[in-house]
Amino acid sequence: MSQNSFNGTGEQEKALREIIAKHRSERGCLMPILHEAQGIYGYLPAEVQTIIAEELNIPLSEVYGVATFYTQFSLQPKGKHRISVCLGTACYVKGSDKILAAVERELRISCGECTPDGRFSIDSCRCVGACGLAPVMMIDEDVYGRLTEKDIPEILEKYMQD
Amino acid sequence: MVNLKINGIAVSVPEGSTILQAAKLANIRIPTLCYLKEIQCIGSCRMCLVEATGARGLVAACVYPVSEGMEVRTNTPRVRKSRKTSLELILSTHKKKCLSCVRSMNCELQKLALEYNAEEDKFGTDHDIKPIDDLSPSVVRDNSKCIMCTRCVAACEKQTIGAIGSKNRGYAKTIGSPFDVSLAHTPCVNCGQCVVACPVGALYEKSSVADVWGAIVDPSKKVVFFTAPSVRATLGEAFGLPVGTNVEGKMVTAIKQLGDISCFNMDTTADLTIMEEANELLSRLKNGGATPMFTSCCPGWIKFCEHYYPEFLPNLSTCKSPQEMFSALLKTYYCKKNGIDPKDLYVVSVIPCTAKKFEITREELGNYTDSAITTRELAKMIKEAGVDFVNLADSPYDDPFGLASGAGAIFGATGGVMEAALRTAAMALGDADEPIVFNEVRGTQGLKEATFTLGGKTVSVAIASGLANARKIIESIKSGEKNYTFVEIMACPGGCVNGGGQPYVHDEVRNSIDLKTLRAQALYDYDSDSAVRCSHDNATVTNLYNEFFGEPNSHKAHELLHTSYVARPKY
């Protein structure tokens, strides 16, 4: 189960049931439903997967199997600010693993997780097309390049206020 | 027909056949791991790779269709090397604790590794020890031994449960319940079809062997065993005897060699079940109770009904299963009669079933059974005791629960409970012919229905084995399409003879014989050789009513032989 407690709204659930109703008669409807469900909730918690299994009358294990098979699906909630550290070849040789470790240390969560206050989530990615600036990290739409470990606290501080 | 050659041998097979099927006809053996007849055919383990003309690389024989003029080679250096490498890759992540493994000497991976000279450590040993899930009272999962063949997942899907599935992909893939919860917290019905589908030691029953040994050596305990109808038809397999050998006499002798044990025949309470159930049905029909009435002997089916069709709980017979009737009888009637304090009596049931292990934990049944051990666990105890099973002389069951009817014995095959009930119903309804054999309800097909006229009354029945078929029957009743008087349901395909606690049968054997039919035949032969064929003619049962219960469905019978059910959530 996800570490953060589920706090989906009635509105989200209504939207979820609508998209299930929209797709249910299609063959292979589970993928588009999971995709749109993630659009509604930002991730695919157990509660959402259970509703999908119930509505489609398929075992929960099947929904869970698909949701964990594809990396595009997340079972962890995403933060208000999404951090993405590039682990592509160029960034990696420039030490982006240390950048990722520094972010994890600073926020006290692991890659793939979300802080308990919901402010930050960390993911890794493969190349954002800014290899000249390696190592690179993105926070939301902002790109930070030529990073060193000691830059991290200051950068994160900018997103602490809003 | 399609003509092809396999290793130079000409074979002719129907169009659409696979290379594996064609090879069987040519008596050529192709090894398999993930393939299991009637359960799974996905071509993923790469053990059955062969060379075939017209194909680019090696092809998986279990899924590759034959074509006219095709030439197949199953035994070339390239094929052997490929299979060996596949095995070595599987072994690199397998916990190779073979000596103490439940499947040692009976493991499909071990057998193939030996045949192909696979090295255990060719690619090193790279397994992290994964946690063992042993919270379920029935099934234990040790994923450190799992080889990802997904036969268990397919078996569970086939039962329309889907309590287990795969998680993640590639190297991170694991098999288990969604969100890593224990199997105990899923809608698993404990049928154990996953266990008998597993080729290795990743799935096994929660063993009670140590507890039973403990009771046997405890001087304050009087130990009694009783054996379920189908165990006599399967136990011999664990000692190398042919499938379908009835070993009742040897089994009783062997149990008595384990210690100072009285050994009884569970067919007795199968007969008792029929008496109670038949009377319950007649009273439902008379008093307008819920019909069709469903049988209640199968604990896998009961839990399935509680999870998936709670609206049909009133249709379930309130009769306890033969196991629970027997234990209740032992801890009351038997103890009283023999001056034994019930707490000093240790009751062991030997059952073909993993769900029975869950059943004994149900509070509402009175917790009369101390341990339920599977056919496999009994075999293990017999081996551990150094008993030379095959050469044992026969012994009869002990009194007073030794003799039973053939009707009780056929409980172990799908349709058997129905046939036993029909024999007694014919008597109760005053049918002059007193029919014994009801061929319409025999056979291992998953769905059967029949209508009989007994004593001028029309009785419409249906029989399902395997939970997918149970679902079909219930849905057809729900929609109003079908209407029956009485329905028998067994969770395992083929009934108890194919139960989740029965001896392991290698895929190769299972793929080439009709296991269910052969095992069931042993029970039908036993029945036709029985002096008493009907439950109502079982003198032990008649005596029980005279001495103890009064009459079927009496107050006392209700207290000890009947139970209630509870709706359970799916998630």
What pLDDT is attached to residue A4? 58
What pLDDT is attached to residue B128? 75
Please give, rounded to a whole number of angstroms, the shortest distance from the CA of A26 to a CA of chain B.
21
What pLDDT is attached to residue B226? 98
Please give, rounded to a whole number of angstroms, the shortest distance from the CA of A6 to a CA of chain B.
14
Mean pLDDT, consecutive 10-residue segments, chain B of 571 residues? 96 96 95 95 96 94 97 97 97 94 95 96 82 97 96 98 95 94 96 97 98 98 98 98 98 98 98 95 92 97 98 98 98 97 98 98 96 98 97 97 95 97 92 91 96 91 98 97 96 98 92 94 97 96 96 95 95 81
Helix H, strand E, coil C: the string for B264-303 is: EECHHHHHHHHHHHHHHHHHHHHHCCCCCEECCCCHHHHH
B64: DSSP letter: P
- Chain B neighbors of A64, CB-CB under 8 A: 165, 167, 178-179
Please give, rounded to a whole number of angstroms, the shortest distance from the CA of A74 to a CA of chain B.
11
pLDDT, tens only, A63-97: 999 999 998 899 988 899 999 999 999 999 999 99
Q: Do B165 and A65 touch (CB under 8 A)?
A: yes
What burial class does residue A97 get, using C-beta atoms within 10 Å of its C-beta: 0-12 exposed, 13-18 middle, 19+ buried?
Answer: middle
Q: Do A65 and B167 touch (CB under 8 A)?
A: yes
Name the residue facing B163 among A53, A58, A61 (closest C-beta).
A61
Residue A1 has pLDDT above 60, yes or no: no
Q: Do A60 and B161 touch (CB under 8 A)?
A: no
Nearest CA in chain B to A75: B179
- Chain B neighbors of A53, CB-CB under 8 A: 571
Provide the annotated active-site residues of B. Answer: 277, 280, 297, 317, 356, 359, 364, 496
Q: Do B178 and A69 touch (CB under 8 A)?
A: no
Chain-centroid distance of CA A111 in Å reads 10
Residues of A with CB under 8 A from a CB of B: 1, 46, 49-50, 53-54, 58-65, 68-69
Nearest CA in chain A to B176: A61
- Chain A neighbors of B308, CB-CB under 8 A: none
Q: How far apart are CA B355 and CA B364, in angstroms?
A: 16
Name the residue facing A64 among B167, B169, B570 (closest C-beta).
B167
What pLDDT is attached to residue B127? 67
For the record, the structure tokens of B46 come out as 């790469």
Q: Are B397 and B266 in contact (CB under 8 A)?
A: no
Question: What is the number of CB-based contacts under 8 A between chain A and chain B?
Answer: 40
Q: How far apart are CA B162 and CA A55, in angstroms?
A: 16
SS3 label, residue B322: helix
Nearest CA in chain A to B153: A61
Best of A6, A49, A60, A62 to disrupt the B interface by mutation (most B CBs within 10 Å)? A60
SS3 label, residue A7: coil
What burial class does residue B217 get, using C-beta atoms within 10 Å of its C-beta: 0-12 exposed, 13-18 middle, 19+ buried?
Answer: exposed
What pLDDT is attached to residue A2? 41
Q: Do A69 and B163 touch (CB under 8 A)?
A: no
Nearest CA in chain A to B167: A65
What pLDDT is attached to residue A126? 87
Q: How far apart are CA B561 and CA B564, in angstroms?
A: 11
Q: Are B17 and B4 in contact (CB under 8 A)?
A: no
Assess whether the previous peptide bond of B292 is cis (omega < 30° from 0): yes
- Chain B neighbors of A1, CB-CB under 8 A: 179
Q: How confident is the model at residue A162 (pLDDT cuts 50, 70, 90)?
A: confident
Q: Do B165 and A53 touch (CB under 8 A)?
A: no
Question: What does the angle CA B421 – CA B496 – CA B468 come to, to the nearest 5 degrees?
Answer: 90
Q: Are B524 and B516 in contact (CB under 8 A)?
A: no
What pLDDT is attached to residue B431? 86
Q: How far apart are CA A47 and CA B183, in angstroms?
A: 18
Nearest CA in chain A to B183: A61
Please give, rounded to a whole number of angstroms, the shortest distance from the CA of A95 to a CA of chain B.
25
What pLDDT is attached to residue B517? 97
Q: What ipTM did this prediction achieve?
A: 0.90
Mean pLDDT value across residues A132-156: 95
Name the residue facing A64 among B161, B169, B178 (closest C-beta).
B178
Name the residue facing A65 among B161, B166, B570 (closest C-beta).
B166
Q: Where are the alpha helices (DSSP H) in B51-116?
A: 77-92, 108-115
- Distance from first CA to last CA of chain B, Å, rounded? 49
